[in-house]
Amino acid sequence: MLASHPLLLRRITRHWLFTTALMMVAVLSFRSAVADWNDVPTGSMQPSVLIGDRIAVNKLAYDLHVPFTRIALARWGGPDRGDIVTFWSPADGNRLVKRVIGLPGDVIAMHDGRLVINGTALVYTPTDAPDLRGEMGDEAGKKRFFREELPGRAHLIALEPNGEPRRTFGPVTVPEDHYLMLGDDRDHSGDSRWFGFVPRRDICGRAFGVAFSLDHEHHYLPRADRWCRRLI
């Protein structure tokens, strides 16, 4: 019957295309300005975030942006020390996920992998939970794990027995409206030790949890125990 009414068919097709386009714009705008989920293809944030995790990101954690731009309509705070954030790399413009270590005005130094923040050396406690190595699989390798006592935000980091030379730097002072970012896998992370401080305007949002996770070492089978896990 529709074939005998080409005008009606064209109208239905245009309406369907228009509705679909509006829905796509709405979804993309939501992901751009409100909430998003990002794949994690590298291990720079292990053991907190594993390769194959799909992390949920709150785009409204610190400000409200015009969708598809970096123009902030309103700001209601900045990242806290220890937050896991997504941001645009100052080096190449790629979107990265790292942990906030230095806030504007902080004086940061690192001595053989151990941080000193505003003159206070952080406490590091060795830990080697078997379930952690089980989650990471071959990626765990010969890594050593430590509990890093950031002020108000303790979390795990990974170090290699023979670490890379950028385990020592500073002291450096974080400029106004900038942040110092580090990966939790300290010897396998391209972070502020390489590309410098990150401007506030380039921070996209705060990662608050793992939506779901796929194990790349085992045919991308689901890691069910990581689904809906809160990030620390």
Of 128, 165, 125, the C-alpha closest to 144 is 128
In which order are the strands placed within the sheet that holds 114-117?
A: 120-121, 114-117, 107-111, 169-173
State the DSSP code for 224.
Answer: G
Please list, in sequence order, all residues whose beta carbon lies within 8 angstroms of the beta carbon of residue 39, skipping any fewer than 6 positions away.
53, 54
Q: Of 98, 143, 192, 213, which is the active-site residue?
A: 98
Q: Rounded to 5 degrees, what are φ and ψ at 207?
A: -80, 125
Of 103, 126, 124, 99, the C-alpha closest to 113 is 124
Please list, in sequence order, all residues whose beta carbon lies within 8 angstroms of the beta carbon of residue 72, skipping any fewer than 6 positions away.
63, 64, 65, 201
Catalytic site includes residue 32: no
Catalytic site includes residue 98: yes
Catalytic annotation, residues: 44, 98
